[in-house]
Structure 1
Amino acid sequence: MKGGLVAAALASLASGAAAQHHRHAHDALFKRSNNGTTEICTPECTTTWSTFLGPPTLLPDLPTTTSAVSTTASTSSHTPTAPSTTKPPTATGDSPVPPPVAYNCPTPGDYTFPATTITVYQTTSICPPGVTPAPNSNDTVVVPPGIYVAPEIVVHVTVKNFVTYCPFTSKGLPTATPVSTISHTPVPPPPPPPSSSSSAPAKQQTPPPPPPPPAPVKTQPAPAPVKPQTPPPPPAAPVKTQPAPPPPAPVQSQTTSSPPSGHGLTSDNDHFGITYTPFNPVSGACKSAAEVEVDIGTIKNGGFDVVRVYSTDCNTLENVGNACKKHGVGMIVGVFVKASGCTIDTSEVKEQVDALAAWAHWDLVRLVVVGNEAIMNGYCSPQQLSALVTSVKSSCGGKYTGPYTISETLNIWLRPDVRSAICGVVDVTGANIHAFFNAAIAPTMAGVFVKGQIDILSTICPGNEVINLECGYPLGGKPNGLAVPGPSEQAIAIKSIRESCGHKTVFFDFQSSLWKNPSVCECEDKFGLASVFGMTVSYD
């Protein structure tokens, strides 16, 4: 945050989890700067804003704004006779919005520009982009708090170097959302996040830099013509385009009814699954089969359909599998990849795959997850992980023909090399998504944030089902900006997530792992959710 005469605090709804097997490295990894113009603002005007990309599904029934480009999913047609040299539309009236997003179309053709969403937490003065090197110093927009959306547009261009603008529409922030206060000290870096593995915490991995903004997608001109919206003078033959396909439907609408117990990756309640590791919460030692059976029975009574396990150590397949069979709980099983190697011949990998191939309870399995943030941690390249998924399928194919996925953070999935290597070998797009490690997200907004990330995830591998494979909130530790840990804050955040997307979420974690190092955030050992879901464990 920055202090000054005009307080500016724009927070991007963009982040995700960065988990290791027993430790995570979460950061705000999905920021995209939207001020990539060559124009400059005068010193009297300061701009601070970030965005995330995705369809505008968080705000229902948004009004459209009249401009030269349609702000709906329908195709807009432009047949300019010369490159655009006019200033973008500016906000007017009683409800100003941020300046529109400017996009350059260097050559003729059809361009698709993704939706852009920004959140303003304090009244902000923004210098709009202009066409002159130094815009007038009074040419500013005072933007009130709110959520502003520039929808996806499709533009047909017939000249070189055409510039089109996508205007923002707005909705006010929920009244329960805390408003940032001015601070004259820099925000400390986000703390390292929670763990989920059976090994001792490893050395902190440095998260990769945020991905660059996606380039415009140029497509071939559509063949079926329609009349353009704004024919330019002098009159000319209209340029016609094929209507663009509708935007992706919300994730929940993909399923018309909940599948029966034992099948599918959704539930008919608001808490689909929970992560589980068979370790004593105090000592970290392996639990006995009897203790595991009590835990799984408690999880079943808590209303969960599925438990996610990360590997095969501590007799996970035998003890957890037998308990799940007894209580009618499904399983998401995993092959964990470490720094030792990312091939089927790596000893630690081969041991897990051999155990899975010999296992007798595949009828319980809803999903196989190969790797847990292995690309993010540098353990696998996208091509190596793709080959490993194929090898695991071959080894387990005699007993299991269900879906496979990997588990990465959303920013990793958004990389073109990851999409091209992985989408063809997985049936489900799975990601670890945590709200706590984004300093701009208060507990009340956790569900809105996570749902938005899931919606973006659904666009990465078209046709794939999506799932949030890990999502929690600590009950103690140091605050991370607006993300404040604590028992009441945990309850608020989890309630928000349950209401927005709990039926597609695996919550993290069943019990707090008090044997773990609490890390810089002093929270890594405090992610237990049993009490939030009304579960009490007793081994008597």
Structure 2
Amino acid sequence: MKKAAVLAAAAALAGSASASRHGHRNVHRHLAKKDLSTGLATADVCVPTCTTIYSTIYGEATILPPAETPKPSPSPVPETTAAPAPPPSEPATVPTPIVTTCETTGVYTFPATTIVLTETVTTCGASTTQVPSGTHTLGGVTTIVETATEIVCPVATTSTAPNGVVTSFVTETTYVCPTPGTYTIAPITVTVTEPSATVAVPTLTTYEPGTYTAPAVTTTITETNYVYVCPFTSEGVPAPSEPTSAPEPAPQAIEVPKPEPVTSQAPPPPAKTSTPISSGGPKKLGGGKHWAMTYTPFREDGTCKTAAEVSSDVAAIAGAGFKTLRVYSTDCDTLPNVGAAARANGLRMIVGIFIGAPGCDNGNPTVAAQISALKEWKQWDLVDLCVVGNEALFNGFCSVDQLAGLIQHVRSELSSVGYTGPFTTTDVVSAWLNNDVQPICQAIDVVACNAHAYFNAGTLPKDAGKFVAGQLAIVEKICGKTGYIMETGWPKAGNCIGVACAGPEEQRTAIHSIEEEVGSKAVFFSFRDDPWKAPGACNCEQHWGCGDVFGA
């Protein structure tokens, strides 16, 4: 570690000028009494240091099959007109996001801040996630191994002193992976006693020498005790490396429903339009009341399905009237098996490059292997769209510049073997709102988002379609491009989140609502239930299979 600095901060997602995010609506009361630039109690602030601790951990870790799980989708809220002065922020010493608590609603102006680094700085930072009451395992480093092996990697973690002071620090860990599989190494465990809480998950970020600027921002805050984050951008230097450890996607926050319908809420102002890079331009996508379905070739125990099993599934999806399949990656012989079944049943394909915890760098061997698999397969006559990354911004796997660069790299690689179709990436709406995504807008041909109305506490199943349509309208305005929904659905089992309750009838009602409103531009999630997944805080992650709603 070259130079260590500490930020045991709650690096919450950045706010926007006219909409707040779902995960920030119920900031924990105890956070209001803490300095959110350090995460420490203001009455007894002890600035910790970043230390390196060497340890070896032996034993079993949780082996997780590769998965695509729905994430909370945000909903915008109306603006207000009050105009208090923003609370003062402490001068930053490293370009980690500046965190401010806006105690009242109104219009806030945050001044510009510039930091100049003359040497490489590694910080113990943090990202935040919203969790309900209970004990949660968060963060850590996720890695995939193909054989029994020993992994050595740095991780960010925390320790709590008897006086309650929390210290973030870096530890280099040696982990013995006893079998092939996907391992999450050295996560932290957090216990929440209140109904819901925003908790910080430690991360590692390295900044290269250069000038970093957090621009001046004027924004409307519509909630009390709202946590606003202003990120830095760099000038003439590489973007900071993504965290070595990333927090789990945020579970739902349980809220009292808002009286206003989602469709009446104000979208963000229109963004600058940009021209797609591809010379051929986007193909015509969508059509019909049920355009596409997500498909992952896994059995109930998480192992790979055979070609015959895949063929049976795809035939059922085609029989239900779908035109297109969306696949996330190239593992489990997805391209040859799903491709052959799609061709036999007259279906189109949306192919994908999956980005996980190793990050967004196009030198990442997992990403490189997927690019190679697509180049070798190259059955482009079946392919309508290529999606590079699924919620990579939301999960902290990529910076905006890294993701834009990777999309351009994939475009170059696939075009070299004949692919001329459109490219995109997909994320939850909060990720589109909370980042300066214009570099991504310039790199894609169409814009896409994942929108799950179930995670919005104020949405009844019958209104799911209106919610999803509203989410789509927001992202279309951000990039000034035609948009599509890459994941949407409703679980048939799980907890109630406000008025959003899971169940077979609720799923059927929600699916039909989405079908009527945006079915021609939506990819439904997912074909069958996934019993091999962890149930998640919502107890719903295994129960999104909706093929039977369509008769599949």
| TM band (smaller chain) | 0.5 to 0.7
Residues 444, 493 of structure 1: 8 Å contact kept: yes
Deviation at 1:190, TM superposition (A): 12
Aligned to 2:499: 482
Residues 27, 207 of structure 1: 8 Å contact kept: no
CA distance in 1, matches of 2:453, 2:434: 21
**Residue of structure 1 aligned with 2:380, choices 339, 344, 362:** 362
What is the TM-score normalised by the length of structure 2? 0.54
Q: Deviations over 1:232-268 (max 9, x none)?
A: xxxxxxxxxxxxxxx99xxxxxxxxxxxxx962211x
Aligned to 1:468: 485
Q: Secondary structure of the residue that 1:480 maps to in structure 2?
A: coil
1:279 and 2:309 matched: no
Aligned to 2:461: 443
Q: Deviations over 1:140-182 (max 9, x none)?
A: xxxxxxxxxxxxxxxxxxxxxxxxxxxxxxxxxxxxxxxxxxx
Q: Secondary structure of the residue that 1:458 maps to in structure 2?
A: helix
Q: Deviations over 1:424-470 (max 9, x none)?
A: 110010110100001111111111111111111211112x2210000
What amino acid does structure 2 have at the position aligned with 1:455?
A
Structure 1 residues 320, 381: CA separation in 2 closer, same or farther (over 3 Å shift)? Answer: same
What amino acid does structure 2 have at the position aligned with 1:413?
W
Deviation at 1:22, TM superposition (A): 2.0
Residues 360, 403 of structure 2: 8 Å contact kept: yes
Q: Report the aligned-residue RMSD.
A: 3.6
Deviation at 1:30, TM superposition (A): 4.2
Residues 21, 430 of structure 2: 8 Å contact kept: no
Structure 1 segments of 4+ aligned residues over 4 angstroms from their partners:
12-16, 30-33, 101-105, 187-192, 198-209, 212-216
Q: Secondary structure of the residue that 1:497 maps to in structure 2?
A: helix
Aligned to 1:317: 335
Residues 405, 428 of structure 1: 8 Å contact kept: yes
Residues 32, 213 of structure 1: 8 Å contact kept: no
Residues 434, 473 of structure 1: 8 Å contact kept: yes
Aligned to 1:425: 443
Deviates more, 1:335-344 or 1:486-495: 335-344
Structure 1 residues 368, 23: CA separation in 2 closer, same or farther (over 3 Å shift)? Answer: closer
Deviation at 1:414, TM superposition (A): 1.9
Aligned to 1:408: 427
Structure 1 residues 29, 455: CA separation in 2 closer, same or farther (over 3 Å shift)? Answer: closer
CA distance in 2, matches of 1:191, 1:350: 36
CA distance in 2, matches of 1:504, 1:213: 34
What amino acid does structure 1 have at the position aligned with 2:345?
H
Deviation at 1:360, TM superposition (A): 3.3
Residues 468, 504 of structure 1: 8 Å contact kept: yes
Residues 468, 514 of structure 2: 8 Å contact kept: yes
Residues 22, 201 of structure 1: 8 Å contact kept: no
**Residue of structure 2 aligned with 1:34, choices 76, 79, 85:** 79
CA distance in 2, matches of 1:431, 1:351: 25
Deviation at 1:338, TM superposition (A): 1.3
Q: Secondary structure of the residue that 1:407 maps to in structure 2?
A: strand
Query: Which consecutive unaligned segments of at least 5 residues does structure 2 have?
Result: 1-18, 24-64, 86-104, 110-130, 137-143, 145-180, 190-197, 202-216, 222-268, 271-281
1:512 and 2:529 matched: yes
Aligned to 2:205: none
CA distance in 1, matches of 2:387, 2:22: 21
Aligned to 1:303: 321
The aligned runs of 1:47-58 (5 Å cut-off) are: none
Deviation at 1:363, TM superposition (A): 0.8
1:264 and 2:284 matched: yes
CA distance in 2, matches of 1:204, 1:367: 38
Residues 27, 437 of structure 1: 8 Å contact kept: yes
Aligned to 2:415: 397
Q: Deviations over 1:186-238 (max 9, x none)?
A: x957999xxxxx986967998999xx98579xxxxxxxxxxxxxxxxxxxxxx
Query: Which consecutive unaligned segments of at least 5 residues does structure 1 have?
Result: 1-11, 41-100, 106-186, 193-197, 217-246, 249-261, 536-540
CA distance in 1, matches of 2:378, 2:443: 25
CA distance in 2, matches of 1:427, 1:404: 6
The aligned runs of 1:127-276 (5 Å cut-off) are: 264-267=284-287, 269-276=288-295
Q: Secondary structure of the residue that 2:465 maps to in structure 1?
A: helix
Q: Secondary structure of the residue that 1:436 maps to in structure 2?
A: helix
Deviation at 1:411, TM superposition (A): 1.5
The aligned runs of 1:332-351 (5 Å cut-off) are: 332-351=350-369
Residues 353, 395 of structure 1: 8 Å contact kept: yes
Deviates more, 1:315-324 or 1:338-347: 338-347
Residues 23, 201 of structure 1: 8 Å contact kept: no
Aligned to 2:149: none
Structure 1 residues 336, 364: CA separation in 2 closer, same or farther (over 3 Å shift)? Answer: same
The aligned runs of 1:63-142 (5 Å cut-off) are: none
Residues 489, 511 of structure 2: 8 Å contact kept: yes
What amino acid does structure 1 have at the position aligned with 2:286?
T
Tell me the percent identity: 40
CA distance in 2, matches of 1:371, 1:522: 25
Aligned to 2:520: 503
What amino acid does structure 1 have at the position aligned with 2:492?
L
